[in-house]
Structures are given as C-alpha cells and as structure tokens.
Amino acid sequence: MGFAARLRALERATRPYDPEFTEAMQRRWAELPDGVKTPAQIIGQHGVGCEGTHGVFPKCNLKCTPCYHSHDANAVRVDGPHTREQVATQMELLRKLRGPRAHTQLIGGEVSLLPPDDHAATLKIMRDHGREPMSFTHGDFDYDYLTRLALGPNGQKRFDRLSFAAHFDKFMYGRRGIERPPTEKALGPYRQRFAAMFRKLKRAHGVRFFLAHNMTVTPGNLDEIADVIRDNHAAGYGMFSFQPAAFVGDERRWKEQYRAATPDTVWTEIERGAGTRLDYNVFHNGDVRCNRTAYGFYVGRRWFPFLDGDDPRDIAVRDAFFRHLGKVNFTGTPPALLTAKVLRVVARHPHTVGIALGWLARTVRRVGTGRLLRHIFRVRPMTFVMHMFMDAEDVAPAWELMQRGETSDDPRVRETQERLAACQYSMAHPEDGTLVPACVQHSVLDPVENAELRKLLPIVEVRTSARK
C-alpha cells in the first residue's frame, strides 16, 4: 500500500462517527417514550442500551431464593453447540436492529457450566458481531477454569480483556465452602477470592478485566448492603449493582415480602455504603423507575462522582459530552484508536479543551490535592447501579396490551407499559425478528422456552449398577 493510500485508510479508521452507530442511536431515541427523553438520557445520546442472551444454558448448580429462572430451567442440559448456534442467531438480529456496537451479557443459568472452549467460542461470536460481552456467573469456579477460558489449548491468550458479572448474596445456597451463608459478611472472602483470580490472571498472562458485583436485595439483607460496599470496594470490582427482588421466575422460591425493600430504601443503603449522596439524575439509563446509576471513582476510601449534579458547570460538561462525543463509539474501541477519534473531535471543536480543563480543575479541587498525593493519584472508577425488575403479574398483562397496540387506563399497568417501552435491557428473538425487554423474557417467555428446551436438550441420567 502506498503512502497516500495508507493516509486515506488512517483517515477512514479514525473518523469519529460511525454512520451506522449514529443511525442506530437515532432510531433508539425516536422509539423512546417522551417521558424519558431527558437531557440526562444515555440511550440514543451515547448508546443503544444493553442486551442479553436467553434460551442458551438455563441450568444452574446453585439454588437461590428468589430465582428468576422458570421451573424447567434445571432440567435442561448445558450444551456448547446449542449455545454457540443460538447466540450467533441472536447476535445477528441484535447487530441488525441495534447497530454495530453494544454491551451484551452472556447470561442464562450458570455460564461456568459451559466447557471453557465453548464459553470462549461464544464470547468470540459475540465480539465478531460487534458486541462487548460480559459473562454472568455465581462466581463459584476455580482459577483453572478461568485460565482455560482465557488461554487457548496452546497456552496463548485468546482475549486481551474479559468481563464478568458475579452474583453474590446470602440467598444463594450451595456455594462450595459456604453452603448456606449466614450473613453477607460471611461471603466477603468469596467475593474477594473471585476478584483475586482475575488479578492473578492479569499478572500472569496480561489479560485485563472488568468485574461487576451483582446482589439481589430483599428485606432480609437490605441493612447489609452498606457493609458489602465498604468491605469490597477495593477488591477489583468496577461496578456494584443491586437488584431489589421481584416476583418473577420460579414461584417455589419466593420467600419474603420483597417489595418492602423499596427503591428509595435500597438506594439509601447504597449511599450509606458509598459514604455520600448518589445523584442518579446526572445520567439516565432508560426509565429511572427501572434503573438508577451513579458514575464516579474512589480515591482511597472515598467515592466522588465524575460530575456533580448540583454544579451547573458539570451539567454543561455532560451536555457537551453528548453533543460532541455522544456519537463516538467507546464500546470495544481500542484505546489508541479512541484517543485518535477524540482528538479529531477536539480539533473540530477546540472550545471543548476549555470545558475539559475546567472540569478537571474542579474535580481535583473536590477530591483535594492532598488526598490525591497521599494515594499517588490512584483513582478507581466505580459505578453504582440499582436495577429493579418488575413482577411477572404486572408484566404479563401490560405486555399483552402492548402487543395489541393498546395503552391501559389502569395506572399500575400503564406504568409497567411505560417502563417496558423505555427498556434498557433487551433480548433478541430471531424466530420473529423482535427484541423484547428482559422483564418480558423472564415473566412471559422463559417458561414456554424452557419447557421446549427441556425436550430439545434433556438431561440423560446415567445409571451405574454393580454386578456381582
């Protein structure tokens, strides 16, 4: 390739905006209900929302109360080829409808029941479709599994970066070493051990990682949230996500009055753990009745927001970010390429340099130079999330009406419809070319899907009998 051709290729590669991504975001924005089209809304301004897989490996080897999987989930065999094939067709549809880039969760039952090679092949299929995958696990697997996932049979690393969401709470029974956790605190060493495996992998093989910590909240562990955050914020997780329990999935495992843990009480406990108020109106992900999010970072033991919602100058930074960088695709873009794209935007809009420097100066002042020096400028990004699934008894009628294009007069059903319409977490159905909210998947579609999977992938009992 000649010099001129190389320059042209470089120019193309570093173009800040991908027209396909921009179009996908515009479509998402247009589809959103008016009520969530706020200046803080991320969907349609800097992303298309999250995605997840379904109908792939519903089986799990722990028992949770509550469990979002339907009755039949544990009667379905974990099957690598089925998973790869299903994920490929689901990713094709997501690629078509949601554009070239998105965050997608490899979720089903327990991901580590997949053989490591199948798990790795599935992650590759997701990446090949422009998805940044995150594997969902209960975290009860060993370093050996992690290395066999991260390294191919030849010992070479097959990923530069792995993302996992690990679910830990005391309502999960059967974890090795702590069958029935008495308290959340007792699970602390298991949370730490999980994250330590990834640090070890990084040291040994240079595989970077992102870890999210997930926890179901019921009235039974509400007052333990704060300690979970305080005890584990430095373990290696980059996100703490809390899901108030919903009445969805296997009704045999519904044990408490879950709705007593209201969104406000849960958020207050998260704030207690973070040691500060968490403003969830700086950025919105879909409907705030579904999602509350606070983006920020720790310096030492203190958490600071990236943007202070009470400071109009920081809100102006957010608006400028959406205006100039919103259409730049951050997900899955290598750091050097991302820097080049951002620099091109800055060259086109030089006033953004002043905005960025002003923000930096304010943020340093907020944190304090003394604190930054004491911690040798070690900044650990940390996002706090609360994701509130809805009860199956609300979702089913709301969805049925939506399928008929009807809006309910009943305020409760209408609220459910509004939330579903703004859903930030979708699953693909290639058989009819639709995307559905995860609430609909778990409340309405999973029971039928798992009953069919049970026939397609039965668990074959192997009986051995000793002959005399």
Site of interaction with ligand SF4 (CB under 6 A): 286, 290-291, 387-390, 419-420, 423-425, 437-439
How far is residue 344's CA from residue 321's CA, in Å, rounded to a whole number? 14
65/285 with CB nearer ligand SF4? 285
Give the DSSP letter string of 71-83: GGGGGB---HHHH
Nearest partner of 39 among 252, 264, 314, 299, judged by Cα: 314
Torsion of CA 56, 386, 296, 194, to 10 degrees: -50
Residue 119 vs 284, nearer CB to ligand SF4: 284
Residues found in the chain = 468
Measured from the CB of residue 439, what is the shortest distance to ligand SF4 in angstroms? 3
CB of 157 to ligand SF4, least distance (A): 34
Q: Among residues 114 and 290, whose Cβ is nearest to ligand SF4?
A: 290
In the complex with ligand SF4, the residue whose CB is nearer, 342 or 435, is: 435
Which is nearest to 389 in space by CA: 264, 245, 256?
245
- For the residues of 388-439, what is the DSSP string, one character each? ----HHHHHHHHHHHHTT---SSHHHHHHHHHHHT-SEEEEETTTTEEEEHH
Closest CB to ligand SF4 among residues 216, 424: 424
CB of 189 to ligand SF4, least distance (A): 31
Q: Which is nearer to ligand SF4, 85 or 391 (CB)?
A: 391
| 276 half-sphere exposure, CB direction, 13 A CA radius | 15
Number of Cβ atoms within 10 Å of the Cβ of 429: 18
Tokens encoding 436: 């559905």
Q: With contact defined as beta carbons under 8 Å apart, do 111 and 163 qualify? A: no
- Min dist. Cβ of residue 257 to ligand SF4 (A): 19
